[in-house]
Amino acid sequence: MRQTLPGPEGLSRVCLVGLLVLLCLSLALPVSARVPARSAILYNMTSGKVLYAQNADATIPPASLTKLMTMMLTLDAVRQRKISLKTWLVASRKAARTGGSSMHLRIGERIRLENLLYGMAVVSGNDAAVAAAEKISGNTRHFVRLMNRKARALGMKHTQFKNVNGLPAAGQRTTARDMLTLSCAYLRAHPTALRYHSPRSFRHGRRTMRATNKLLGVVPGVDGLKTGWTVASGYNIVVTAERKGVRLIAVVMGGTSSGRRDLAARRLLEAGFASPNSPHNVERSLSRRSKRR
């Protein structure tokens, strides 16, 4: 069948749409961006030194990075012996019907708390976050209050949580720097939590699901932490890796694709491990790479 080309008005509309898309993508990145994302920060957790920051205080919806706080409060409750990792719970209708990324809980299903932690960390289960919050606090509203109280205690000055899993919600916001603060506090309080974040797949029922963190098993030393995406936030990731006794944490927010987000995180880690104590050298390395793009 012969294809017909659009007329002048159709061509104008196509060109206009294309220009708008290019404009939006260009506006999403800071003018001085060294990595392809709206916001980023790299931190040497071993030395306590920030190695690189790019627009790190820009407010952006956290998306599923929210689950880092949900997991931290869950493990806090375990440490305080308010609940056990082996505790069984029953998935509520609300949990099972939560939209977005899921570990595929069924209404009335019995599941251990520990499996919900894997569900949150590996496959970013929104349903798992709701189920855990309901078990610990009775309902998600009370749990969200605990999340915001904890954020204030940690000094996360630009963060406001509206739900337990990061699904779109008006007023929900954070920054790359605040997410770094949360991640450091989380790992210091619960260093063994990395066992939930490091698997490359997770099996629940008859389903085997791949981890959302595609840097696991690809970038040497990577053993966590969390990815996230919504239309408003773009593609986010908090990733940590350890090499030769040095642990780095990179936060990338507002990537235009999962590939570019992962590339940004990988570049940050490689530059950081090459010069783990020199922000100047990290900046130079990222600058050279950005010019070759």
What confidence tens digit (pLDDT) does each residue in 122-162 have? 999 999 999 999 999 999 999 999 999 999 999 999 999 99
10 has a pLDDT exceeding 60: no
Number of H helices, E strands in the chain: 10, 9
Catalytic positions: 64, 67, 124
Summarised one tens digit per residue, pLDDT across range 264-283 is 999 999 999 999 999 999 99
Q: How far is CA 28 from the centre of its chain?
A: 18
Distance CA 225, CA 212 (A): 10
Task: Quick: pLDDT tens for 191-218.
Answer: 999 999 999 999 999 999 999 999 999 9
Which pLDDT score is estimated for 29? 52
**Residue 45 CB-density burial (10 A; 0-12 exposed, 13-18 middle, 19+ buried):** middle
Q: How confident is the model at residue 12 (pLDDT cuts 50, 70, 90)?
A: very low
SS3 of residue 227 by DSSP: strand
In whole angstroms, give the CA distance from residue 287 to residue 238: 21
User: Is residue 82 within 8 Å of 196, Cβ to Cβ?
Assistant: no
- pLDDT of 261 over the 80 cut: yes
- Distance of alpha carbon 27 from alpha carbon 15, whole angstroms: 18
Residues 235-253 pLDDT 10s:
999 999 999 999 999 999 9
- Domains of the chain in sequence order: 36-291 (3.40.710.10)
**Which pTM does this prediction carry?**
0.88
Average pLDDT over residues 86-114: 98
pLDDT at residue 52 greater than cutoff 50: yes
pLDDT value, residue 18: 39
